[in-house]
Structure 1
Amino acid sequence: MDKKTKPNISPTAFWDVNFNKIDFEHNSLFVMDKVFNYGTWSDIIETLRFYGIERVKKEIIHAPYFKNTTLSFLCLILNLKEKDFEAYQRRQARPSIWDQ
């Protein structure tokens, strides 16, 4: 993949950074995390096409946070279990304020 190549995604999920300065190769996990949590359906499809299913599957499990619905969606499309994701393990390790 050429370092200057960019996926054809909208800046919707990247409201907090300068979209034009993102290195899509070097910051692939950041991009995947943002797109799957906050991107449009078209952005998700394009991210899967751009990085490929295997790369997404290998990297996305290391993302720090997922909304519950996003985590369920990723488990379904990537044939993974919740426990495969670091975000899920981190969430389970923290005691809930309601459990105290």
Structure 2
Amino acid sequence: MYFSNYKNFPNAVINPSLLWEYNIGKVDYTSMRNIVVQRVVERGWPQDWYAMLNLYGIDSVKKAIKELPYLNDKDMNFVSQEFDIPLTALKCYTKKQSVQTHWNS
């Protein structure tokens, strides 16, 4: 895993700009786990990944990733490979597969 050394960065913090629309002083990181994980996956730097993994742990991050309703193809494939999660176990993948596209698109 690329971020397997996350425990070497115990002081890492999530960049507040990832949660720009929330009052950072009042953010409950426990109840907002899926939002935080999605923002870090989509827009986070390595420092944000280290902070997220230290905050939630690998198992909790994996669970959140499986529950995310949307990720673009690049992010979806990255987390699938990085966390050894089959694409079919991701809600965003199965949701995307169930959407019918027009035959000419």
TM over 0.5: yes
When the two structures are aligned, how many residues end up with a matched partner?
94
* Equivalent residue number for residue 25 of structure 1: 30
* Equivalent residue number for residue 70 of structure 1: 75
The offset of 1:59, in angstroms, is 2.2
Cα distance, 1:96–1:51 mapped onto 2, change above 3 Å: same
Give the one of 17, 40, 48 matched to 1:43: 48
Cα RMSD of the aligned pairs, angstroms, is 1.9
* Equivalent residue number for residue 84 of structure 1: 89
**Which stretch of the first structure deviates more once superposed, 14-23 or 28-37?**
14-23
Question: Any stretches of 5+ residues in structure 2 without a counterpart?
Answer: 1-11
TM (normalized to structure 2)? Answer: 0.77
State whether residues 12 and 38 of structure 1, in contact with CA within 8 Å, keep that contact through their aligned partners in structure 2: no
Percent identical: 26
User: Where does structure 1 differ by over 4 angstroms across 4 or more consecutive aligned residues?
Assistant: none
**Which stretch of the first structure deviates more once superposed, 62-71 or 15-24?**
15-24
Question: Any stretches of 5+ residues in structure 1 without a counterpart?
Answer: 1-6
Give the structure, 1 or 2, with the largest relative contact order (CA under 8 Å, sep 6 or more): 2
Q: Distance in 2 between matches of 1:20 and 1:67?
A: 30
The offset of 1:99, in angstroms, is 4.6
